[in-house]
Amino acid sequence: MRVLVLISFLSIAWSSIAQEDSSTTSTTVDSQKIEEIVNICNQLGLPENETANYDLLIFTLDWRGTPYCYGGSSKKGTDCSGFTSKVYKEIYKKEIPRVSRDIYANSMPIRKYALYEGDLVFFATSGGTKITHVGVYLWDGYFAHASSSKGVMISNLRQGYYQRTFISGGAWID
Protein backbone atom coordinates (compact mmCIF):
# COMPACT_ATOMS: atom_id res chain seq x y z
CA MET A 1 0.00 0.00 0.00
CA ARG A 2 2.82 2.41 0.86
CA VAL A 3 4.36 1.78 -2.55
CA LEU A 4 1.08 2.71 -4.20
CA VAL A 5 0.82 5.93 -2.20
CA LEU A 6 4.45 6.77 -2.99
CA ILE A 7 3.91 6.14 -6.70
CA SER A 8 0.78 8.33 -6.66
CA PHE A 9 2.63 11.10 -4.84
CA LEU A 10 5.57 10.98 -7.28
CA SER A 11 3.20 10.95 -10.22
CA ILE A 12 1.40 14.06 -8.97
CA ALA A 13 4.68 15.81 -8.14
CA TRP A 14 6.15 15.00 -11.57
CA SER A 15 3.01 16.22 -13.30
CA SER A 16 3.16 19.49 -11.36
CA ILE A 17 6.84 20.01 -12.23
CA ALA A 18 6.16 19.28 -15.91
CA GLN A 19 3.28 21.79 -15.97
CA GLU A 20 5.40 24.50 -14.33
CA ASP A 21 8.19 23.88 -16.83
CA SER A 22 5.69 23.98 -19.69
CA SER A 23 4.13 27.24 -18.51
CA THR A 24 7.58 28.83 -18.13
CA THR A 25 8.43 27.87 -21.71
CA SER A 26 5.04 29.10 -22.92
CA THR A 27 5.47 32.42 -21.10
CA THR A 28 8.93 32.87 -22.62
CA VAL A 29 7.65 32.10 -26.12
CA ASP A 30 4.65 34.42 -25.62
CA SER A 31 6.83 37.28 -24.38
CA GLN A 32 9.24 36.81 -27.30
CA LYS A 33 6.32 36.87 -29.77
CA ILE A 34 4.90 39.99 -28.12
CA GLU A 35 8.31 41.66 -28.32
CA GLU A 36 8.51 40.79 -32.04
CA ILE A 37 4.99 42.14 -32.66
CA VAL A 38 5.84 45.40 -30.87
CA ASN A 39 9.04 45.69 -32.91
CA ILE A 40 7.17 45.16 -36.20
CA CYS A 41 4.52 47.69 -35.16
CA ASN A 42 7.31 50.23 -34.60
CA GLN A 43 8.87 49.45 -37.98
CA LEU A 44 5.51 49.95 -39.68
CA GLY A 45 4.71 53.12 -37.76
CA LEU A 46 1.71 51.51 -36.06
CA PRO A 47 0.58 51.89 -32.46
CA GLU A 48 1.61 48.86 -30.42
CA ASN A 49 -0.89 46.02 -30.39
CA GLU A 50 0.32 42.94 -28.54
CA THR A 51 -2.65 40.90 -29.81
CA ALA A 52 -2.06 41.73 -33.48
CA ASN A 53 -1.99 38.99 -36.09
CA TYR A 54 1.74 38.29 -36.34
CA ASP A 55 1.48 36.74 -39.81
CA LEU A 56 -0.44 39.75 -41.15
CA LEU A 57 2.19 42.11 -39.76
CA ILE A 58 5.08 40.10 -41.23
CA PHE A 59 3.31 39.95 -44.60
CA THR A 60 2.67 43.71 -44.58
CA LEU A 61 6.24 44.48 -43.56
CA ASP A 62 7.57 42.19 -46.29
CA TRP A 63 5.39 43.80 -48.98
CA ARG A 64 5.80 47.40 -47.78
CA GLY A 65 7.35 49.49 -50.51
CA THR A 66 6.36 47.09 -53.33
CA PRO A 67 5.78 49.42 -56.29
CA TYR A 68 2.32 50.02 -57.70
CA CYS A 69 1.52 48.28 -60.97
CA TYR A 70 -2.02 48.29 -62.34
CA GLY A 71 -3.14 44.67 -62.72
CA GLY A 72 -0.11 43.40 -60.80
CA SER A 73 -0.14 41.04 -57.85
CA SER A 74 3.50 40.21 -57.23
CA LYS A 75 6.37 41.76 -55.28
CA LYS A 76 7.61 43.22 -58.57
CA GLY A 77 4.46 45.37 -58.66
CA THR A 78 0.90 45.22 -57.42
CA ASP A 79 -2.30 47.18 -57.37
CA CYS A 80 -4.67 47.47 -54.42
CA SER A 81 -6.82 44.44 -55.21
CA GLY A 82 -3.74 42.37 -56.09
CA PHE A 83 -2.22 43.13 -52.69
CA THR A 84 -5.50 42.53 -50.85
CA SER A 85 -6.08 39.24 -52.70
CA LYS A 86 -2.57 38.09 -51.75
CA VAL A 87 -3.17 38.97 -48.09
CA TYR A 88 -6.38 36.98 -48.05
CA LYS A 89 -4.85 34.00 -49.85
CA GLU A 90 -1.66 33.85 -47.77
CA ILE A 91 -2.93 34.91 -44.34
CA TYR A 92 -6.57 33.85 -44.29
CA LYS A 93 -6.43 31.01 -46.87
CA LYS A 94 -9.34 32.53 -48.79
CA GLU A 95 -9.65 33.16 -52.51
CA ILE A 96 -11.24 36.54 -53.18
CA PRO A 97 -11.88 38.30 -56.50
CA ARG A 98 -9.16 40.28 -58.18
CA VAL A 99 -11.18 43.50 -58.66
CA SER A 100 -12.09 45.86 -55.80
CA ARG A 101 -15.71 46.27 -57.01
CA ASP A 102 -16.17 42.49 -57.04
CA ILE A 103 -14.64 42.14 -53.58
CA TYR A 104 -17.03 44.82 -52.33
CA ALA A 105 -20.03 43.13 -53.98
CA ASN A 106 -19.26 39.89 -52.10
CA SER A 107 -18.61 41.46 -48.70
CA MET A 108 -20.90 42.10 -45.78
CA PRO A 109 -20.90 45.86 -45.05
CA ILE A 110 -19.31 46.99 -41.79
CA ARG A 111 -19.42 50.51 -40.38
CA LYS A 112 -16.14 52.29 -39.80
CA TYR A 113 -16.45 52.17 -36.01
CA ALA A 114 -16.98 48.38 -36.07
CA LEU A 115 -13.93 47.43 -38.17
CA TYR A 116 -11.76 44.61 -36.91
CA GLU A 117 -8.27 43.48 -37.92
CA GLY A 118 -8.43 41.72 -41.30
CA ASP A 119 -11.63 43.41 -42.46
CA LEU A 120 -11.69 45.10 -45.83
CA VAL A 121 -11.90 48.85 -46.39
CA PHE A 122 -13.38 50.28 -49.60
CA PHE A 123 -12.97 53.68 -51.20
CA ALA A 124 -14.33 55.65 -54.16
CA THR A 125 -11.17 57.50 -55.10
CA SER A 126 -12.61 58.80 -58.38
CA GLY A 127 -15.51 60.53 -56.67
CA GLY A 128 -19.08 59.31 -56.45
CA THR A 129 -19.76 55.88 -54.98
CA LYS A 130 -18.06 53.55 -57.48
CA ILE A 131 -15.55 51.40 -55.58
CA THR A 132 -12.07 51.96 -56.98
CA HIS A 133 -9.77 51.10 -54.07
CA VAL A 134 -9.50 48.43 -51.37
CA GLY A 135 -7.23 47.73 -48.41
CA VAL A 136 -6.96 45.52 -45.33
CA TYR A 137 -7.83 47.02 -41.97
CA LEU A 138 -5.28 46.68 -39.16
CA TRP A 139 -6.47 48.62 -36.07
CA ASP A 140 -6.95 52.14 -34.68
CA GLY A 141 -7.87 53.45 -38.13
CA TYR A 142 -4.76 52.04 -39.83
CA PHE A 143 -4.96 49.90 -42.96
CA ALA A 144 -2.53 48.33 -45.42
CA HIS A 145 -3.00 48.89 -49.14
CA ALA A 146 -1.26 49.53 -52.44
CA SER A 147 -1.35 53.22 -53.23
CA SER A 148 -1.05 54.22 -56.89
CA SER A 149 1.55 56.84 -55.93
CA LYS A 150 3.59 55.08 -53.22
CA GLY A 151 2.97 51.34 -53.62
CA VAL A 152 2.25 49.11 -50.63
CA MET A 153 1.99 51.23 -47.52
CA ILE A 154 0.02 51.88 -44.37
CA SER A 155 -2.42 54.76 -44.14
CA ASN A 156 -5.04 55.93 -41.68
CA LEU A 157 -8.77 56.36 -42.23
CA ARG A 158 -8.52 59.67 -40.34
CA GLN A 159 -6.33 61.18 -43.06
CA GLY A 160 -8.34 63.71 -45.07
CA TYR A 161 -8.15 61.90 -48.40
CA TYR A 162 -9.20 58.53 -47.00
CA GLN A 163 -11.82 60.14 -44.77
CA ARG A 164 -13.38 61.80 -47.84
CA THR A 165 -13.25 58.77 -50.12
CA PHE A 166 -14.16 56.01 -47.62
CA ILE A 167 -17.33 54.15 -48.62
CA SER A 168 -17.53 51.16 -46.27
CA GLY A 169 -15.78 48.44 -44.41
CA GLY A 170 -16.51 44.86 -45.29
CA ALA A 171 -16.19 41.30 -44.08
CA TRP A 172 -15.56 38.72 -46.77
CA ILE A 173 -18.51 36.34 -47.19
CA ASP A 174 -17.36 32.81 -48.01
Q: Quick check: 71 and 79 in contact, CB under 8 A?
A: yes
List, in order, residues 6 or more apart from 168 with CB less than 8 Å away. Answer: 104, 109, 110, 111, 121, 122
The Cα 67–Cα 93 span in angstroms is 24
- The alpha carbons of the chain give a radius of gyration, in whole angstroms, of 22
List, in order, residues 6 or more apart from 118 with CB less than 8 Å away. Answer: 53, 56, 91, 92, 136, 137
List 121's β-bridge partners, or say none.
Answer: 135, 169
**Is 72 among the residues known to form the active site?**
no
**Is 62 among the residues known to form the active site?**
no
**Letter for the amino acid at 15?**
S
**Is 89 among the residues known to form the active site?**
no
133, 134, 151, 169: the catalytic one is: 133
In this structure, the number of other CB atoms found within 10 A of the CB of residue 170 comes to 22
57, 80, 103, 115: the catalytic one is: 80
Judged by DSSP in three states, 149 sits in coil
66, 78, 138, 145: the catalytic one is: 145
Query: Which residues carry out catalysis?
Result: 80, 133, 145
